[in-house]
Chain A
């Protein structure tokens, strides 16, 4: 600041207004506004306190003496009379009483920025966390410490964080569903990827999202409803996590009066953890049907059949399927020797590989049943050209293929590209793919899949679809099935049935030789 006006010949205006106290902050704003008027070099609008009179003196004014702190002092230094006139006009404007504020303009709340804040405000009992994986633990831990259960959809969460989360949850008496948990049903509310199922007596504990959806949808097809479906995360039955959430979820459903029978669904678990869980399940008062996928174990459809038997409900003679009309005469029957699986659901892929490998031998995969069946290191399911020789199945929902991309249950782009590549590969013969309906999934998967399937069938491929859904799903199961069948696909509600049908087509093709 300079102690006196820059221009010695400046126009100086000094006035004192008696009465009409204004607070100092308001007046500083007014002074700032006047100072911004072009041609004004300095402006002071302030109550005439001793301090402010000194400031005026520093600015080159001779302050009046007969004033009190209740008088308004206006001191303006400008380059010319016109600037001063503008400044004084602005002064009147600034000192005028403000317009009445809009009614209801007050903002006394802001949106919650953390899960803990949201839970404390609402008394929420469940948090759903789907942030990027590196940030998921913090929000999930916040939920658990605030006394809520949490479903963690995010993947790429380190194992030590999952263990800490689940141990803290045990101490708090709440459940951690996840990480990498996509499906839950709580009291009829579907959380994440969930089909619209009827309420009923069967409760699920699932270390597999699509596996749980498959079981719930088959039960729904048989007219049997669901009490709750508690996800536990794809890694819960690993050696490290040791079934922490599975055991807690089993106990919770055991105590739930609405649950008459429990189904435990998992992709292939660690053997020693499976033993612990089976032993725990056997101790419960509520019967438990254990469907742990693995070599020599029953498939999910078989598990559903056992459930129906245990609760005394009729088992359908066969599960719904929509087989294509006789193929056009110009199209040869499926003649390729190889089976190719293009899956969105990891557990559905596991189940299909278990069934197919029992019949056809090794099935290569990015989620292989045995380490030696892994895809070649340089095989990239997202690249053009043949992927690998022989039978293979790819889980397009696997972590490494979904990083930075939408899950194939939401967006089929990557699977469509692969399907087009298979149609161009003379070694391919039968393509098996899954379509999963329900909340959060693609609102109309047949709209993009049907034309691609029609093109593949026209090119000589046989296409088999495993369709997981219910009549009440927003996508309309029957409309989806009809569109896929019309494109030439054989459509099955049972994933196991779809896999067996695909195996039969491969065998038939192999017995007739290559196309």
Chain B
């Protein structure tokens, strides 16, 4: 009642949504007001939207989801073979995106799986590997369902090494593969001998060196590095240059003291320093920890997973737990390497949209003016992209402050209902894989999720809402 009494005691501050007539009537009285840029929601089922908005648990559940996301920490605590961390058995492989089987897998995912089978020594050549993958002897599981994330194809096999990150605030762990660099790499679907050879070097030299260094320094606060990198031009998805260099700065002294031969140390330092995306594979598990902190809150409409397997886009939402809501993955719109073009592009692939799920990547474009041309041109466009994402999120993350927006926190926690109401789909920055297995990266650009994921999630939330 106090708010109502206050309404009567003061000049009203008014917002209007709908027909312009009422706005005009206020104008005629010289009463200032804010007009909502309202449009019909992107759903054929307004009743489902009403049921979800009517869910009495929703407001509190979303506030709790936001609180947990902002409280989540992320520290690099170890580097290990995936077999040890995830308990992957020989013949088991993780992949990006929602669940999928070999028959429906796209070129880059097939290529990466082929490479992983070769790496594990389970086949003599690519043809042999493909026969095995098409048969029944191989088990596939989404990284997300095994507690981790992987960029692009996201294929992880037992002998690959992974970063292990901890969120001490919520007592959870996540993991992610080590980044191989750009161009012809497994995660983009390439599996030529040089790709396999690089992966072997990563398992024999890079992984153990990083483990020694991390164990010597103790946990490295990845969230703190992300905080700094978003103020240095990185958005954490398509640009990770500052983050990579800051990590290298932390690791180099201990690597030098670790007893690693000088030539090996030089190889490791050159590899990390020469790959601007090295830190992506630390941003991703940090974001996964943040998103997972908000999972499983009954009534919450906050998105906890956005990911793609090259065929389908998959969404998971806090209030509907582990259920996947999928739709066909779109083809990114972007810039292409060399003479590759749109016809060479595979549909959207990778777990890296976890960065947008956590408020980085496309959501933090305002902090990455150096790569704004991916967004279609100009710095104002980048600022607008971030500004629009505030319309579909439930919180702002003060840990990730954007200087260009006067240090406003990144838009965090995508609300399914806001996406459908505003018609603003989450903006995702992404790499583009070649559609033919074995090609590798062909470009980078922008993509949005299919609306079906959100209408599907809405139906799931409506079914879970109490009467």
Contacts and interface: CB of A to CB of B under 8 A. Distances in A.
Interface stretch (B50-58, B101-109, B113-121, B165-173): B50-58
A54 B183 contact: yes
Interface in B325-348: 335-341, 344
B257 to A, nearest CB: 29
B391 A110 contact: yes
Contacts of A141: 50, 53-54
Interface in A93-120: 101, 105-115, 117-119
Contacts of A147: 3
B47 to A, nearest CB: 8
A156 B456 CA distance: 26
A233 interface: no
Interface residues of B, number: 82
A153 B22 contact: yes
B5 A130 contact: no
Contact of B21 (A25, A109, A125, A410): A410
Contacts of B124: none
A161 B54 contact: yes
Given A1-B340, A111-B37, A440 B22 contact: yes
B323 interface: no
A293 B35 CA distance: 36
A110 B421 contact: no
A298 interface: no
B13 A256 contact: no
B339 A44 contact: yes
A277 B183 CA distance: 75
Given A186-B8, A228-B8, A248-B4, A145 B36 contact: no
Interface string A28-54: 110110010000011110100001101
A123 B335 contact: no
A28 B11 contact: no
A172 interface: yes
A125 B422 CA distance: 22
A107 B31 CA distance: 26
A58 interface: yes
Classify chain A's interface size: 35 or more
Given A59-B339, A440-B21, A149 B3 contact: yes
A410 B22 CA distance: 12
Interface in B1-52: 1-19, 21-22, 24-26, 28-29, 31, 34-41, 46-47, 49-50
Interface in B354-401: 366, 370-371, 373-374, 378-381, 383-384, 387-388, 390-391
Contacts of A174: 3-4, 7
Given A25-B335, A107-B380, A114-B36, A189 B53 contact: no
Given A28-B335, A105-B380, A138 B14 contact: no
Contacts of A325: none
A405 interface: no
A25 B340 CA distance: 15
Contacts of B388: 110
B339 A43 contact: yes
Contacts of B370: 23, 25
B3 A137 contact: no
B336 A32 contact: yes
Contacts of A154: 18
Given A118-B36, A190-B29, A1 B341 contact: yes
B215 to A, nearest CB: 32
A351 interface: no
Interface string B59-79: 100000000000000000000
B4 A187 contact: no
Contact of B5 (A56, A58, A256): A256
B4 A175 contact: yes
Contacts of A324: none
Nearest to B31: A189
Given A32-B336, A127-B16, A192 B3 contact: no
B256 interface: no
Among A31, A132, A134, A191, the most chain B Cβ lie within 10 Å of the Cβ of A191
A173 interface: yes
Contacts of B46: 134-135, 138
A164 to B, nearest CB: 5
Given A42-B338, A110-B384, A187 B2 contact: no
A227 B9 CA distance: 10
Among B184, B339, B388, B391, the most chain A Cβ lie within 10 Å of the Cβ of B339
Contacts of B11: 187, 189
Nearest to B422: A113
A459 interface: no
B442 interface: yes
Nearest to B1: A173
A25 B335 CA distance: 8
Given A25-B335, A173-B4, A189 B380 contact: no
Contacts of A121: 34
A464 B391 CA distance: 52
B182 interface: yes
Given A114-B422, A128-B15, A439 B28 contact: yes
Nearest to A98: B378
B405 interface: yes
B427 to A, nearest CB: 13
B339 A126 contact: no
A153 B18 contact: yes
Contacts of A119: 15
Contacts of A189: 11-12, 14, 26, 29, 31
Contacts of B391: 110, 112-114, 117
Interface string A138-178: 11011101011100011000000100100010001111000
Contacts of A59: 338-339
A439 B29 CA distance: 9
Contact of A114 (B184, B418, B439, B442): B418
B424 interface: yes
Given A253-B8, A256-B9, A161 B424 contact: no
Given A101-B378, A113-B391, A124-B14, A132 B29 contact: no
Given A108-B387, A127-B14, A35 B37 contact: no
Among A58, A117, A145, A175, the most chain B Cβ lie within 10 Å of the Cβ of A117
Contact of B8 (A41, A187, A191): A187
B192 to A, nearest CB: 12
A153 B16 CA distance: 11
B197 to A, nearest CB: 15
A41 B46 CA distance: 51
A194 interface: yes
A154 to B, nearest CB: 7
B13 A126 contact: yes
B443 interface: yes
Given A118-B34, A127-B15, 19 more contacts: A1-B338, A59-B339, A107-B381, A113-B37, A114-B38, A114-B422, A115-B36, A124-B13, A125-B14, A126-B12, A138-B49, A138-B417, A147-B3, A153-B19, A189-B11, A227-B8, A255-B1, A439-B25, A440-B21
26 contacts: A1-B338, A1-B341, A28-B335, A29-B373, A46-B338, A51-B183, A105-B380, A111-B37, A113-B36, A113-B421, A114-B391, A115-B17, A123-B13, A124-B13, A126-B12, A128-B16, A129-B16, A130-B21, A135-B40, A137-B50, A149-B3, A161-B50, A190-B29, A256-B8, A439-B25, A440-B22
Q: Give 9 closest A-B pairs by Cβ, nearest first.
A: A130-B18, A113-B422, A28-B335, A439-B25, A118-B15, A111-B37, A42-B339, A51-B183, A55-B338
